[in-house]
Structures are given as C-alpha cells and as structure tokens.
Amino acid sequence: MPVLLLIWTGRLITKNCLPRSNKWYLRVDFGLYRMILLAIMSKQTLTFTFTTMLAGALTCSVGAEDWSQFRGPDHDGSSPEKILTTWPATGLKEVWKEPMTDGFSAITLGGGRAYTLETREVDSAQQEVCVALDANTGKELWAMPLGIAKFDGGGDSGTPDNKGGDGPRSTPTFDSGKVYTYSSRMVLKCMDAASGKEIWSCDLMQKHAGRNIHWESAASPLVDGDLVFVAGGGPGEALLAFDKNDGHVVWKGQDDMMTQSTPVVTTILGTKQVIFFTQSGLVSVVPAKGDVLWRFPFKYKTSTAISPVVCGDLVYCSAAYGVGTSACKITKTADGFAATEVWTQPFSVLANHWSTPVFSQGYLYGISFQAKFGKAPLVCVNAATGQVMWSQPGFGMGGITLVNGCVLVLSDAGDLVLVKTSSESYQEVARSHVLAGKCWNAASVSNGRIYARSTKEGVSLDVSAH
C-alpha cells in the first residue's frame, strides 16, 4: 500500500493579544518545526485525524522570535519577549561564551544560528568576516571573508583601561534561509545561511558609483518583503532597493550622500515607508518604487550614525559633532506628505553619537553625548517636546534594547543593566557584568536569551521567564 508523506511548516500571526509598546499581538512561530504525517492508503479509504496529530507535534512559543536584523525584526530596537527581571547575585546563567575578534557588529539570530562580523587575518590581510555560530552552543559553523578591513583607528578610542579594538560596524541580516551583509567597502552580499556560500553580491562602488565616507560604511542591510534597502550610490542612484533573491536592482534614485545610519521600514498615518537618514536629512520613500513621500532637512557634520526613531507621527533624528537633535511631525494632505519641525535641542543638551534610542509610551530612552567613554548618561526624553526628564551617567557609549517594560542597556564596559521605562526617575531593576572588552553595540533578545558581544568575546545568557 502506498505511503503518503506530508511535511508542513508555517507561521501564524494574530494581533490584539499581548502588549508590545503601542502594539498588541500574539506571534506563534512554527518555522523551526516540521511535522511528518504518515498514513497508509488503501484503495477504499484514507483515515487519519489531522487535528490531533497537529496538536501533539507542535510546540508553541508565545512572544518569542528570532532577532533577525539590526535593532530587531521590527527595526525599532524592541523585543516582544518576557524575560527574567530578578537576576541572580552570582550573575546571569551563561548558555555559552566564546572568544571573538575585533568588531562593533551586533548579533543577529535566525535558523538556529547566530551571526556577526569580526576582523580576522585572511590571506595575510585583515579582512571583515561574517561568522555563523550555533545559537545553542556557540560553536562556529562557518566564516566567510567579506573583503579588506581598513579602518583609521577611530574605533581604538575608549576609557584608559578599555582602549583598542576597531572593526566592522555593520550587522548581518537573516531572512528566509539567507544572510545579507553590507561591508565597510560597500559590497552587498547574500549568502546561504546554512553554509555561508555566496548566492549573489553587488559592489556599489564599482556598479553604482558608490561614494564612501570617513570611517567607511557602517550601515546594515535592511530587508523587508522581497527587497533589500541600502544607501551609498552615486547621483541618481544614491538610495537603492535590490531583489533579495537574485540581487537585481528593483529601483534606484536620489542624489543624497550616505551616512553611517541604517534605514528603517515603518508605517506612518497608514502608509508604509522606508526612512533613510542621509547627509541631507531624513528621506522617506515608497518601499516598492522609491518615490519620495517626504523630506526633513537636518544638519550634517563629520558623521551621522543613528537610525531614525519613529514615535507615532513624529520622527526623531540626532547627531554628534556639535549638531544636536530634532523631531518632525508627519502630516498628510490631499497634496501628499509633509514633515514639520516640532522641537529641537542643541548639542549641549541632547545628542546621540551612534547609539539609537528606543521609544516607549511617549518617551525616548537613549545614550546621549559624544565620546564620553565610560561616562555617557542614559537619558529619558519626552518625544513630544524634547524635554529631558532625567539623566543617569555611567554607561559610556553602549547600546539600548527595549524588552518587557524595561530598557536593557549594554554599557561600553560590558555591563548589562535593566532599567524600568519610567519618565519619573531612573529606576534600576537589575545589573550584571557579562563581557570583557569594549561594547559599542546593543544586545539582542531572542527566544529567552540575551546575545551580546564585545571586541573580545560573545555571550549567550538564559533570561527565560519561568
């Protein structure tokens, strides 16, 4: 009698269930599971109970998902997960800790693997290398060179006892069994996530008149739907969207000079859009075609590095080097969209160097000021007015993640600090020293674990709420 073999995978997403910032949703991810149903078929009948077998074969994980891109799957630095908020005095439980070489790349997760960029010697030269690790053990699975890593030493700054360690600033993106990287020399590459084998690549400097900048490209590739978005091309092709499967250019346009900022995809006033932060300021475009929806001019000097932060119909932007901070309000009329400044703060009051703030319930939480290694404060800012509600020094140039009603701060010295999202005062919930070396990036939260790295090592920590 013939045998029927059915392999099933899927994802169910239902909104209006669990709180997540200003969103409500329930995500049940079956992507990592496969169900094999075997049934014996006779000429007369085929009988099996699908529902019963489905319920027994699958495990549901509510609120858990892969941290697949720079600043998470929703591009806003937030995680839907419930994590442990009472941390042991002896420190968080390590799942693994492994040596890593220089780099400021964060860690992304997908397909049971963790991905990051490091600097390694390959063929007698210092190169950027994309590294894939087993997410459960930290074991290296593959490493793919991306090209010569040449930095001017700016990354070697730090506190007197924590200097040294330059390296790649970009973070890999995982999507549908593939990994995407954008090197400091502006080579966009797509690799097979299981093997690291190249699927396609595009050198923007050679093929699109790319114009690199001081400290070179630090932006990460943004994947949404079937498209990969990057900036860096020449006149008439400064902003680009590539087909994520074969690498052909879907659209290109504009003349804006690039920055180190990674673009974001968002929905404002019911319209989906991609927002780039260029040397001209904010540029919002239609994802499918690249048509400009609105622009907001913003001063550029030396370097702009944070991503735009969307706060409802407000968009926040900031830069160091004497520039400061502004927020614009997006409005929509019969003639299209407009962006109007609602507030601005001078550099002396508020500025983000490369650490992008997070937004929660009307307030922004981020690390302010420039190059205050070991000292830079965590600040809370009213998104509607720009008023600084409180400021707590001592974090340095680290990174911010929003999770479980708290701000998870990775200090530049390797401390993880959990802070309540409150505009009233600084309220520390938990703290643990987790890494040696220098951390100029943000932690990732995925499937009950925190993943973080420095210029010397990477770590996975169990913070699942039991």
| pLDDT profile of the chain (466 residues), mean per 10 | 39 35 38 37 38 36 79 96 95 97 97 97 95 98 93 85 92 98 97 98 98 94 98 98 98 98 98 98 98 98 97 98 98 94 98 97 97 97 98 98 97 98 98 97 97 98 91
**Residue with structure tokens 């401390």?**
415
DSSP strand pairing (78-79 vs 399-403): parallel
Residue 34 is predicted with a pLDDT of 38
CA pair distance 294, 135, nearest whole angstrom: 40
Listed residue (329, 311, 318, 315) closest to 402, CA to CA: 311
Residue 333 is predicted with a pLDDT of 87
Burial class of 423 by CB neighbour count within 10 A (0 to 12, 13 to 18, 19+): middle
Beta strands in 30-80 (DSSP E): 35-40, 78-79
Beta strands in 217-263 (DSSP E): 222-224, 227-231, 239-243, 249-253
Residue 18 is predicted with a pLDDT of 36
Residue 64 is predicted with a pLDDT of 72
pTM attached to this predicted model = 0.87
**Could you tell me if residue 355 is left (phi over 0), alpha (psi between -120 and 50 degrees) or otherwise beta?**
beta
Burial class of 58 by CB neighbour count within 10 A (0 to 12, 13 to 18, 19+): middle
Residue 55 is predicted with a pLDDT of 36
Residue 63 is predicted with a pLDDT of 60
Please, which residues bridge with residue 142 across strands?
Answer: 132
